[in-house]
Amino acid sequence: MAQRHMDRLTSFDTSFLANEKANGHMAIGALLMCSGEPPTEADFLTHIRSRVHQLPRLRQRLLYPPLQLGTPFWVDHPDFDIHQHLRRITLPAPGTEAQFQALVGELLAPPLDRSKPLWELIVVEGFEDERFAVVYKTHHAMADGISAVDIGMLLFDVEPRTEPDREEVPWAPTKAPSRLALLRRAITGIAITFAGLGRWLRRAIDQPQRARKRAGDGLAGLWEVTWNLARPAPKVPFNTAIGASRSFCWANFDLAELKRIKNALGGTVNDVTLAVVAGALRRWLQDQGVAVAGLELKALVPVSIRTENEHGELGNKLTAMRGPLPVGIADPAERLRAVSAAMDSLKSSKQPLGAEAIWGLNDWFRDFAPPLLLGPTAAINFSTRLFNLLVTNFPGPQIPFYILGRELTAIYPVGFLARNHALAIAILSYNGGVGFGLLADPAALPDAAALAAHLRLAVEELLAAAQVASPDDGDELAGDDRPRFARERERLDRG
């Protein structure tokens, strides 16, 4: 589907706007690390200008209907100026990793300005070694993790082309409707909603068996969602009021290592990443003096339901599950087995259907003022009663990418902090590596870097358990001194 002027936000997208309060803003993005000298400011600007037409949403802003009649619209921004979305910052000498980490936290702290298109790119230069970075921010109302990868494709090429495209596609914004026209549009939407409800009822009458099955699945899912409310997530130190500041740290691992763990101990790569997070949180909580015996944290685990032909669209195609983080289990292999069994159970449960049913019902009524269930369901979706932290994991491209001839060497995704959630962990695979991005409130969680270090220990203990379970699996890696991404690319080529 094309991104059009006057597209309407879904209730799920609007929920990210509704929950943006009390310092819990809903910007997401990525830290993109590149090798070589940064492109010139003029070349980078020309490069983005030549491609921005591929995603029209990047030149659109939010427009709210009068009397709050339903969810807002995406409309062309008449005064769009790409200079307001591209910045360049030079690190102070000597350009250390610590200086860079502090700067990234500062860049991620402020919310995006809703009066403009909800994105920005910041090129960071001045490192003590030959590299540069791009910090990308967008609003969760505009893009989920998969679409964020698609947006990244605007920046990068699959071949190291050093010259930017010079041709800019002409663009003239469509005029936004008047308040009276917008009111008529909102009222028309209400009529369309009732007409759609009538068609749905007719289909239910014509196909009663299918209607009963869908209703039964939806009710069962709603029951599971309701049952979760009676089983709150445990209280831990990072479930506290958050401030306006942010810190960001990161870690990178070999995808081949995580696959080896998966092959030897079972589960999926996603299960392995959850077990790694659980192992790191176990050590961190012990450092804080928290008793972990028998403790299981709950992670909000978004799952993309975006189909192949929907790549390139913005907006969210997600459902969410309460993933287990069994920090109370000391044995790493047993911890992974517990995660894998619980995730298999969740996938076969009706919980995702219940979440979809809730948001689907909201979308039926998104033309009303306000959507009837948006407030309560949005509050539930981001409630500390249900989960302790966000842990999101999406697959990225497994080939190298370039920006004006410079190779993208690593991607560290950025999640969001909801109210009373001082930690979010986002994970993305790219070109044989797996980047973990840890976003935190430094006041509530001042030692996020220690947690990032614990991630490495959690991977190492799982690798040791994998070696015990399948000692021969490690022979291929022994004595192979090639760069890890080159080794993984060769494995991918062999299938």
Which tokens belong to 371? 């959507």
- Burial label for 417, CB within 10 Å (0-12, 13-18, 19+), is buried
Per DSSP, what are the bridge partners of residue 133? 33, 124
Residue 140 annotated in active site: yes
Which tokens belong to 247? 């810190």
All residues at 6 or more sequence positions from 3 whose CB lies less than 8 Å from its CB, including other chains: 55, 56, 57, 60, 74, 313, 314
Backbone angles phi, psi at 316, to 5 degrees: -105, 130
Q: Which helix (H) or strand (E) holds 409?
A: strand 406-414
* Count of residues in the chain: 495
Whole-angstrom distance, CA of residue 382 vs CA of residue 20:
11
Which tokens belong to 459? 């991977």
Amino acid, single-letter form, for residue 69? L
Which residue in the list 140, 311, 421, 454 is annotated as catalytic? 140
Three-state SS at 320: strand
Decide if 233 contacts 387 (C-beta within 8 A). yes
Instruction: From 277, 426, 321, 372, select the one nearest 68 (Cα to Cα).
Output: 372
* CA 206 to each of CA 193, 218, 360, 361: distance values in angstroms, whole numbers, following the listed order: 20, 19, 21, 21
Vertex 21: Cα angle to 30 and 362 (nearest 5): 90
- Burial label for 390, CB within 10 Å (0-12, 13-18, 19+), is buried
Decide if 137 contacts 33 (C-beta within 8 A). no
Vertex 399: Cα angle to 396 and 401 (nearest 5): 90
Whole-angstrom distance, CA of residue 443 vs CA of residue 255:
33
Q: Which DSSP symbol is given to 171? A: -
How many Cβ atoms from other residues are within 10 Å of residue 147's Cβ? 23
All residues at 6 or more sequence positions from 423 whose CB lies less than 8 Å from its CB, including other chains: 238, 389, 417, 438, 439, 440, 441, 445, 448, 451
- Burial label for 171, CB within 10 Å (0-12, 13-18, 19+), is exposed
| Catalytic residue annotation | 140
